[in-house]
Structure 1
């Protein structure tokens, strides 16, 4: 093909170019001038540069409207217009710092009636179910002359200051009655020691303390202050005296679960002391000792030990930002057993009736409430705040609440039932803290009948200590045995082992 242009095509292109040039010239002459670039005036003084500082939070926050706060903590709007002429002082503009949440050091209650928080109109149905289950459980009242200290102390653990008892057809506050120095079957609730005082040790099943310092841990959960006075018959002791005695008597031969539980509520995480055996102790050492116990071989599936570990880790995390060493290891174990419980959860929301040994469903309501309640109590103490609204947690809370409501007329075993109620109380404290705090203040100021103190048993503490020295078998009760000692005692002798071996071939 010839690459040269034909004369006819050349004429057309030239004519088009000439026409375009003439048209552009005419537009420039008659049309208005278009936009031009602004040329800076060099002769003028240069303008000052304004610097805009942008914080990191302004960069990270999305550019969306904030949602209104409809929670219980939302402040009520001020309906009175502010006076524009009045100027507020700096002290009014800065709010006062709130006290650190914890157990009060003084028992002096406030005489002012607490104001009810503003409850939103839309309430979670699960919250209504939890409130109903706790209210129904208040009707299961025990009698002072019938039920044991072990049973009544579990009620104080769950229902705290609002827990009431029957005494001669009168409703009395359980904490007030226990402080008068009652006795059970000729033995006092509390005894005095050279280091202060403590709850009556284990002498028969489900009568007094089943574990060392168990009552002290229950009172820590109820928020009983350090200067609260308790009569023992010989003298009056306080919660601080019981803590001092627990420090002096702590040892590795006895269970330390409830000691760690109580100290996590009453003492700072970095507390250190020396026991009567001249051994150096600290709360971190208690955590290390507790870590050595196997949950599947401990009482109640090991949930109490895991609860104590979680409580100690929470106390540490409030003061320290990062977990290290023993505290990190304890936190990892707590998280591990949370996932164990979740993996073995039944379809109805209940947890395994074998605790952490394997999956199992309990059709018996007593066993189901006890196992699920113990496991949920540990989870409520250990689970992070942002996970409380997960479906599997809500399902477990609903299962416990429904069982307590459905079987409200059926007798339930006190220990497991009160631990289940405590799990619901902790759930309410964490999901609705303002409302739970209001209920606690209201319960402390509620009018109960004055308890009738029983006749004190003078001199019992000294006699009991002499009996302990003369009868060392008190130190070998099942609840007080160390796991190593119990394993050694259960090992058969050589003759028994030979008999068991040869019996296989018979």
Structure 2
């Protein structure tokens, strides 16, 4: 009995399903179909499936409705279709796909050779207002032009550090490129800019404040920042020297009695990180040795708050990282020193974005624009060389860049001290090179190709290499007769232990 009821129940359910399906089909035929989505007619277009891979950021980005294109270009296809009646029959077969637009009136069918593209780079659309502010500050600083017969080599060389190949001077009421002018072998107060040495040549040593090189190889480091090539020639009296000659002389003269900051700065721009050599004193030197010696100097007791030495360390570490993936030994310690003082500067930053007017010795604010531009500019220049790329857009960095740019723009008519001002400009130039590298590279190329008035060479003054050679021999003899040098040769182990104690003290500073 149960099986019979189950069989009848199954027949009734099947009949109900068939009847319901038939009624639904009839309703779809006779009833209103309702609104449907418009579908494009793809019969006349080739079937082509485009696949585009999306990055993770694009996949997570919210969808934004696109605005319709209401310009003239969007209506061109309709105009062409209306004019298709006047096209020859043999040409219509070629236009079954996408029709070719008709040329605009006034355009020749056979145009002449295309015009040369302008040399100026295409200025990208500036989205970040800080970039516009930086460009304005650099452009305003270009108008502070020095004169060849008034200003000193120390001042002019600082301008080359900041503005590179774009830097110009006034010579007899004519605008000349600074690098071209110094290449002619100028002189200042009866002394040449460059002198020859037994190993090559160099910038004239210090004679009086703010006259020539204040530190050994300081000008060579400036030329490295400007990207002057190794074979570039400078007149030195009756002879000619190159950047390579200056580097060879710097290798021969390097010693621990003089400051090596600018030597390390220049070498990190021109030489590989694993370069080794022997000085005139018979001492073994290398890039790593220069870094170790620089690590022994205390920033708070160095010139300009130690920012130049920290910049040289950061530049050397960057030179090492270009070839080596991992930091080890001295290079790791130097990188830790750079990161440490970056955080020092950040912790003592003022509310207006400026850094401490006392550098790394303690917090301080200055209302004097000259001091503020100099201290903040020196500190920011070091930070721009040592800060990782992924931290370049942090707010405290942007505040410091804004402070420097604002000061240069707001006080464009006020005299500023050249040294601190040009280091501040250099910090903005490095920021632009790192934030917009392609645009900065095009600007540099354009500056090298610009034509300026040819500089007038000054009266040649002998480079007095023989006199300089005699002085070097006297200095070497005095140095060899010193008891300290002999003690170093006899008690090398004791000397190394003293150096190790100094390194351990500075390491945990």
**Shorter-chain TM-score range:** 0.7 to 0.9
* TM-score of the pair, normalised by structure 1: 0.73
Aligned to 1:348: 352
Does residue 195 (structure 1) correspond to residue 190 (structure 2)? The answer is no
In 2, Cα distance between equivalents of 1:164 and 1:151: 13
Asked if 1:256 corresponds to 2:251, the answer is no
Select the residue among 59, 78, 81 that pairs with 1:64: 59
Which structure's residues are more often helix, by fraction?
2
Whether 2:124 is the aligned partner of 1:119: answer: yes
Give the match's secondary structure for 1:404: helix
Shift of 1:181: 0.4
1 CA distance for matches of 2:58 and 2:412?
52
**Structure 2 residue aligned with 1:363:** 367
Distance 1:346 1:130 in 2: 20
**2:251 aligned with 1:238, yes or no?**
no
The C-alpha deviation readout for 1:77-135, integer Å capped at 9, x for no partner, is xxxxxxxxxxxxxxxxxxxxxxxxxxxxxxxxxx9964623612x52111111111101
Does residue 205 in structure 1 map to residue 200 in structure 2? no
What's the CA shift string for 1:410-443, capped at 9, x where partnerless? 1100000000000000000100111111111111
| CA distance in structure 2 between the aligned counterparts of 1:265 and 1:471, rounded to whole angstroms | 29
Q: Is the 1:247–1:275 Cα contact (8 Å) retained in structure 2?
A: yes
Identify if the C-alpha distance between structure 1 residues 32 and 330 changes in structure 2 by more than 3 Å, giving closer, same or farther. Answer: farther
The unaligned stretches of length 5 or more in structure 1 are: 1-17, 35-57, 69-110, 476-506
Count of aligned pairs between the two proteins: 391
Within 2, Cα distance between the matches of 1:227 and 1:248?
Answer: 19
- Is 1:155 equivalent to 2:159 in the alignment? yes
* Structure 2 counterpart of 1:414, from 404, 414, 418: 418
Quickly say closer, same or farther: Cα 1:61–1:254, change in 2 above 3 A: same
Secondary structure of 1:311's aligned partner: helix
Unaligned runs of 5+ in 2: 18-52, 64-115, 480-509
Q: How far apart in 2 are the matches of 1:222 and 1:444?
A: 11
Instruction: Give SS of 1:64's match.
Output: helix
Q: Which runs of 4+ in 1 moved over 6 A?
A: 65-68
> Counterpart of 1:434?
438
Instruction: Give the deviation of 1:468 after TM superposition.
Output: 5.8
Does residue 450 (structure 1) correspond to residue 450 (structure 2)? The answer is no
> Are residues 142 and 326 of structure 1, via their aligned partners in 2, closer, same or farther at CA, if it must alter by over 3 Å?
same
Cα distance in 1 for partners of 2:8, 2:348 equals 88
Aligned residue number for residue 278 of structure 1: 282
**Cα RMSD (Å):** 2.8
Structure 1 residue 31 displacement after superposition: 4.0
Where 2:59 maps in the other structure, the secondary structure is: coil
**CA 1:63 to 1:413, structure 2 compared with 1: closer, same or farther past 3 Å?**
closer
Give the distance between the partners of 1:32 and 1:199, measured in 2 at CA: 106
- Counterparts of residues 72-111 of structure 1 (less than 5 Å): none
8 Å CA contact 2:192–2:463 kept in 1: the answer is: no
Distance in 2 between residues matched to 1:140 and 1:112, nearest whole Å: 31
SS at match of 1:197: strand
Deviation at 1:61, TM superposition (A): 5.2
Q: Is the 8 A contact 2:264 2:316 kept in 1?
A: yes
Pick aligned residue for 1:336 from 324, 333, 340: 340
CA distance in 2, matches of 1:235, 1:135: 37
Match of 2:315 in 1: 311
Describe the shift of the 1:61–1:362 C-alpha distance in structure 2 as closer, same or farther (beyond 3 A).
same
* 8 Å Cα contact 1:159-1:422 kept in structure 2: yes
- Report deviation, 1:275: 1.0
1:405 is the counterpart of 2:409: yes
1:312-367 Cα distance to aligned partner (Å, 9 max, x none): 11111111111111111111110000000000000000000000010000110000
Given that 1:197 and 1:245 are in contact with CA atoms closer than 8 Å, whether structure 2 keeps it comes out as: yes
Q: More deviation in 456-465 or 58-67?
A: 58-67
